[in-house]
Amino acid sequence: MVGFDTKLLERLKPTGETRTLGGLRFVRYAATAKAAVSQGAWWNADQALPSSFVMADAGGLTRLSLQRVRSGADLALLRPPASRFPTYRVIDLADWLERH
């Protein structure tokens, strides 16, 4: 969810405003007094995806804004890592310790 804390939605209020990006409909959520750390978010519940948000905490400010959304996925990237990287070796720490 690109760094978005979904718990933040509980402290935001849906405004009824919508916008579309890449065929997905996003609803604007505004900050309330309980959510003073945020300036709000645009959220698509079906995809569990924010199109933009601003969050502030002790660590600083996080700002995200999607510029483009497209459907589909590269199925090659969804294959198991062992088949995508056949020369990559996985070492279990317990196995490594037994050999040393």
Read off the pLDDT band of 37 (50, 70, 90).
Answer: low
Output the six-digit token pair for 87.
Answer: 């020369």
* Backbone conformation region of residue 82, classed left if phi is above 0, alpha if psi is from -120 to 50, else beta: alpha
**Contact (CB, 8 A) for 7 and 21:** no
Give, in order, the Cα–Cα distances in Å from 87 to each of 63, 76, 81, 82, 99.
Answer: 38, 17, 11, 8, 21
pLDDT tens-digit readout, 52-88: 998 877 888 888 999 998 888 888 888 888 888 889 8
Q: Which of 53, 59, 46 is nearest to 9 (CA)?
A: 53
